[in-house]
Amino acid sequence: MSNIEVHYRALQAIGAEVSTAADTLIGTIGDFQELGSGCDPNIPVDVALEAVATSIADNIAEIGKGCADIGQKLRLSGEEYEQVETHNAQLSEKFERRLGC
């Protein structure tokens, strides 16, 4: 597999993680909508609000973790790319020396 394919696949995986984080955020918005559309009258409002607040906090924490994971993967991908570029430059130098350029 070429270096370009490796980076392309890494970016695809990162895109999938961004999509998952977006889905989580949509779930959080759904929590707000559910609360606004009318709660079960048997559940006290403060209990319902606390449950939604906890869900939102959990979702935000999950999004933050996902963003940190994405950042780590981008950093590693960038480091790998730099290593490949350094290796390619070294090979080019060797090739040029052999040709006497």
On whether the pTM is more than 0.85, the answer is no
Domain boundaries, the chain: 3-99
Other CB atoms within a 10 A radius of the CB of residue 21 amount to 19
Q: Over the stretch 30-48, which tens digit does the pLDDT of each residue have? A: 766 666 555 566 777 777 7
Share of the chain above pLDDT 90, in %: 0
Residue 55: closest CA among 79, 80, 32, 89: 32
Token pair of 9, please? 């696949």
